[in-house]
Structure 1
Amino acid sequence: MRRIFSTVTILFVLSFSANVVQAQNNFAYYGLEPDIVTNFLGPNANNLGFVRTTMELMLEDVEYIEAIEHHSPLLRATIIDIIGRQPKDKVKSLTGREDIRRMSLERIRELMQQETGNPMIKDLIITKFIVQGG
């Protein structure tokens, strides 16, 4: 009888802790579609390159999807502007791409704070980053 009680207690504790973790992690993902395609600065004005990237926004709560969807044109335009201002060396290097990701995340969080009173976005995930030319 004691062994059954211990097993039931352990199962109850595991079940309870799993529900607590699930309640705390109510994240959602929103894909910026279609892919973002833009030019970036080459060594001179006659030598432009382009970037094609796929990005996903990790939202702090599922309830933010509607607001993010509403503001997605602003978020896309901001990311396009940030990428378009970067020099070739930054776009083509891994550390430069991480800088671009962080700059984009910071700026779109600021914009969402201004527009909605809440930054809403936990992270920006780049799933594809293709560079040509430059």
Structure 2
Amino acid sequence: MCDQVAVMYAGSVVEYADVKELFQNPKHPYTIGLLNSIPRKESKRLKPIDGQPPSLTELPKGCRFEDRCHFEKKAECRQLVPPLEVKSLAAGSGSEHVVRCFLVDKDRADKKDQKKDEAVDDLK
């Protein structure tokens, strides 16, 4: 068993947190998409992540997930690689929840425009 988990996309860590924190409160749009695409007995259709991953030999200039992201985008998403930043502390343990995304910040992380799908709630 592990205590912490890192989510990678196109060869880069996009989110890192305690296991429980990441499954209960995913912040990066790729992590949210992964959790929403897990098959469920009660669901007949999977919810895939739209689009295709980038070519690893021709990575985009900015965020590697930008073309597939469902968050409202900023110009910097296409032009700059977002740094891994601490966005919150996990409840209880106080360990860091680190995310590589310009659109997730401490003030916006829990707002409804970035909420996870009901399927993520099933993992709690």
TM-score, normalised via structure 2 length: 0.25
Q: Which has the higher helix share?
A: 1
Q: Which has the larger radius of gyration?
A: 1
Q: Which has the higher strand share?
A: 1
TM-score (norm 1): 0.24
